[in-house]
Amino acid sequence: MIDLTKVATVFIGRRGEHHFRKIEFDVSSLLGDEYPGTALNAIYKRPDGIAYPVVTSYADGVLTWSPNSADTEIVGVGRLEIRVVQGEVVGKSVRILTIVEEALADGIVEPPEPPAQEWLNQVLSALAALDVDEINSLLNQIYNLLNSNYALLNTTHGLLVSATSQIGDTYNLLGETRNTLYQRTGILLNHWHPVETATAPDMASRRAAITFSNIVDGNNFVLGPVTYTFVTVLGSPADNNAQVLIQENLRNTVKKLAEAIRGAQDDANIAYGTGTDPHPTCTAYWTSQRFSVGDSTIAPGESLFLLEKAENVTTALPMTTTAVASINAFTRAPHVRYVLSGNVSGAGGTNSTRGPLHTILPIGSVVIGGQGGNLSPTRYDCHLITLCRQSDTSEKELDLYISNDEQNFTRICRSTPIGADSSAEAQHVQIEMRQARVPVGYGLYIRMGSNGTSSTAYCDLKFTYHLYPADL
């Protein structure tokens, strides 16, 4: 059985042989699941250069060729190519080298009937005249020539294999180039016509915050209809109850609470009762940086950044805890307020610095389809900043940072100018950003500075961002 995925050399017979051999080819790699066996044909090029289709048969992925006397008429090296032809589709196999070897000629003279002593004497005389050493030498020369031809054929085969490998490498490079061009074109198109755009914050859904200072065994956190209890050993919680295993430190315990609210599957650390997996009305994300809920600034700590899933809800969403914590209730936040606490006294703010980091989008909070979907994080970019209002007219600058652990921060945009006429606070100013894609699972943070001298000066901002499909 000859594998068409590899270059091969095939002995098809001796000169003059007629349907003596059956040569089988595995054509499954050529047909695949798309083409029938009737689409196959084979083209044979004899050693004298004449090419023509040959008669073959096909069954169960195997193409069989039985060379006839016309195929074996010429001694030497020929070529065979198997093709798939269906409509406008033409597919070709690797070329297969064929070999026809010499054979005795037909037309042998019949010896005379015995007793034909004269004929026998002539044969014996001819044999006696032969030089055995000379014949042996000639045979050795022929053998060496055959070996040389065999080596040349092997060299040719090696060159063909190398050429095939190089063609394969070129094909793969072209495929990679095509994929790269496709992806970059998709990125550009998503900039111009994004599949989804969102703004943080928005007033469609409410947001809240809770910052924990200490959690001990038995403390709970009540969020709407669900009670989360902190334990040292997990049990079997009742309906509308969930248990969160206390971790080795406060930070990891708060992170685990955020995962429980989102419905993460972690049997070693979270136990869910009916109606709690995930929380029916809210999502939550951990952050240790300061952030704001409307005009209220949440101090840095081990905090939950809470978002309501549904839009335009007005019913109360209670939130309490028996742990040591501070709570900022759910409210519709029209903006992010950044307080310029880096400002210090001095003429023109000569000693002013950038203020602390401020969370805009927590780690992993940018998801396709909104917070009510399957919470699959995706890539995004900050496309636009809207300045809603500012407390004074000092010159202000904004830096954007990203992080996936809030330990290491990477600045992706530096010293974007922010400013407007503070006498018209309702006049929004839009600032188009240099678009840099943020990887999956990264949060977005800002720092601001100014040449002012008031440590209570502030800017109210909105951030618009593009979401990317998973394959971009």
Among the listed residues 382, 392, 403, the one whose alpha carbon sits nearest the alpha carbon of residue 460: 392
Q: What is the pTM of this model?
A: 0.61
CATH number of the 2-100 domain: 2.60.40
For the stretch 324-373, pLDDT in tens is 999 999 999 999 999 999 998 777 778 889 999 999 999 999 998 888 88
Instruction: Give the residue ranges of the chain where pLDDT is below 70.
Output: 105-124, 126-128, 130, 182-195, 420-427, 435, 471-472
Tokens (6 digits) for 259: 């995962």
Residue 249: the pLDDT is: 97
**Topology of domain 334-471, per CATH?**
Jelly Rolls (2.60.120)
Torsion sign (Cα): 251, 363, 285, 464 = positive
Per DSSP, the chain holds a count of helices (H) and strands (E) of 4, 31
Residue 122: the pLDDT is: 67
What is the distance between the alpha carbons of residues 206 and 329, in angstroms, rounded to a whole number? Answer: 9
Residue 110: the pLDDT is: 56
